Structure 1
Amino acid sequence: MAEGTFIGGFTDHHVHLQLADPAGLADSRLGRVLDLGSEPDAIARLAADPPGISISYAGAFLTPPGGYPSDRAWAPAGSVREVADREDAETAVAEMSAAGASVIKIASNHDAGPVFADELIHAIVRIADRLGLPVVAHAEGAGQAQRMPALGVRALAHAPFTERLSDAEVSAQAGRIAWISTLAIHEGEAREIAIDNVRRFHAHGGTVRYGTDLGNGDLPVDLNPAEIAALREAGITGAALIRTLVPVAATVERRFLLPARDADPFDIEPAVAARIS
């Protein structure tokens, strides 16, 4: 038998299963996904009877009244929860927790509408902390990514793509917040900015997590070759790439062989992560 490590698949840290075909996950090389925006009851039902992998989720986006993505046609009914004030935040976070959420997702897209004030984001973080729920933020628009670490947000749902962060800003973020990659959904300048930010964030020791925004366009329900290529372009290769993909433990029902390799232990070809019978 070939030498290597048995794993149960990799982790996609940013999906929207209401916008994709979750049935395809059963034959994918993923072992876990994190859904970052779906109607809470719908995603809870899917997670209770998953298609061969583990599903964690945030439930609905929390956003200010009229904030992103409340006006988007692609957002399923019930997948956006508008939050007006601190009292409403207490109720909204409790709703997501009761639905089985393991994280809370907030939207802060200044290019598409109103965003929460610092005080309310900080309040949401404190409320969520009491329930053991880290907060993940969609940060878009000038200055939005820079706000989040100081407010206690644990992860950015997208590596910053609106603007090139300064080296000082990247360095400051590296020890305080994780970035979920989603590099391949961008084109042109936004892609170049995101990859450059990730390259420097990774070089400063920042935590990058593989995520694709599955459901955003025609993306494969599996490991995404374009996302892997973009991570490599940002200088994340070899063992660092494996850490970004966060392998999950193998089970009797789901085992893949990850061969030992010095140069680059991950290759998305099926022979590298082939299901073992």
Structure 2
Amino acid sequence: MPEDADVVDLPGVTLLPGLVDTHVHLAFDASPDPIGALATRDAAETFAAMCVAARRAARAGVTTLRDLGDVDYLALGVRAAARADWTLPDVLAAGVPITTPGGHCHVLGGAASGVEGVRAAVRERHERGVDVVKVMASGGNMTAGSRPEAPQFTAEELRALVDEAHRLGLPVTAHAHGTAAIVDSVASGVDSLEHASFMTADAVDDIPHGLLDEIQRRGVALSLTLGLKPVEGFAMPPEMASRRPKLIANATAMRASGARIVVGTDAGIAPIKPHDVLPTALVHLAQIGMSPAEALHAITGRAAEVLGLGDRKGKILPGYDADILAVDGDPLRDPAAIHRIRAVYVRGAALTAPAIRP
């Protein structure tokens, strides 16, 4: 230890690597109508709100997050601000997601169609400096007229999109609810799947035979939408609640297959999904068969690896970023300890003020 180092007294704590959320939306305000709320703010107001959301995540120990859908590419600005502001977590940004005309989240401005159209959309994002390409391979729940179970792009369009992104050195993650969109996304060569819920119009499909083997063979990461904070007066929609047992069963099969599972909370999309929601996902990871150690790895080291940051995030080691979460107790014995935060360090700077001994 350097002679001039400060010694911090934190008796009884467990030190963890900073947490990593692989799917958030900083531009969404976790209100009942986040898209409507977004429409009422100008770019400056939205950027300020995104920084507030990012700081909320950091105070919960989320020191790295991946924003998978903003407006006006404002998440790139938050990413840049974090380089000089230790109160902000590190941000990876997709910018505006690629969707179809009138498709899921088209109000964010990322519509494209046809092979040449999706290739051009990828090139635009590369020129703007995004870290990852987000494609809405299926419809979603937040857009009027959109059907989550329905594919939005053809298999040929998805292959062209992934080919162009990989040619430019960018990973691709696919929002994919319905089975056809999931199958096509895997075949196209995407690097990760968001949600992977296998939703139908009113239920949840079985996972097609052999698909999990193919996902594992290709190394596709599964960014599962877990974690929620109960909010009085706001319940999960009945159609989602009825699907939950099958969603858990499918996720349990995914975990048993050996697939790389991480957690992308979708923070920001609803009151039960605030930007500090990630620690609540440990309970859901346990429900699909993960041990406490495996669950913690899913939201630290493995998540960092999936984001391409495994050489400096997700571990407490010399040479790694000093992203550290100190919790009261042992989360391997008591998973609830993840909520008893004593200190958070972002790139070595303390967000809290623990006692320092010279």
TM-score range, shorter chain: 0.7 to 0.9
Determine what percentage of the aligned residue pairs are the same residue: 26
The aligned runs of 1:1-277 (5 Å cut-off) are: 1-2=11-12, 4-7=14-17, 9-20=18-29, 21-50=53-82, 51-70=87-106, 75=107, 79-109=108-138, 111=147, 115-162=152-199, 163-176=205-218, 177-184=220-227, 187-218=240-271, 219-247=273-301, 248=313, 254-257=323-326, 263=333, 267-271=337-341, 274-275=343-344, 277=354
Normalising by the residue count of structure 2, what TM-score does the alignment of the two structures yield? 0.67
Look at both structures and tell me which one has the larger radius of gyration over its CA atoms. 2
Query: Contact conserved, 1:64 with 1:114, CA < 8 A, in 2?
Result: no
Return the alpha-carbon distance in structure 2 between the equivalents of residues 53 and 183 of structure 1.
20
Deviation at 1:157, TM superposition (A): 1.0
Letter in 2 for 1:257: A
Shift in alpha-carbon separation, 1:30–1:65, aligned structure 2, 3 A:
same
Return the alpha-carbon distance in structure 2 between the equivalents of residues 174 and 200 of structure 1.
12
Deviation at 1:146, TM superposition (A): 2.1
Query: Contact conserved, 1:11 with 1:33, CA < 8 A, in 2?
Result: yes
Letter in 2 for 1:23: R
List per-residue Cα deviations over 1:105-153 (Å, max 9, x = no partner).
1112252566111111001101000121111111123422222211101
Query: Contact conserved, 2:282 with 2:296, CA < 8 A, in 1?
Result: no
Unaligned runs of 5+ in 1: none
Unaligned runs of 5+ in 2: 1-10, 30-52, 140-146, 200-204, 229-235, 302-312, 345-349
List per-residue Cα deviations over 1:33-58 (Å, max 9, x = no partner).
00111124311111111342100011
Aligned CA RMSD, in angstroms, stands at 2.8
Deviation at 1:226, TM superposition (A): 4.2
Normalising by the residue count of structure 1, what TM-score does the alignment of the two structures yield? 0.84
Higher mean C-alpha displacement, 138-147 vs 127-136: 138-147
Partner SS for 1:63: coil
Number of matched pairs: 268
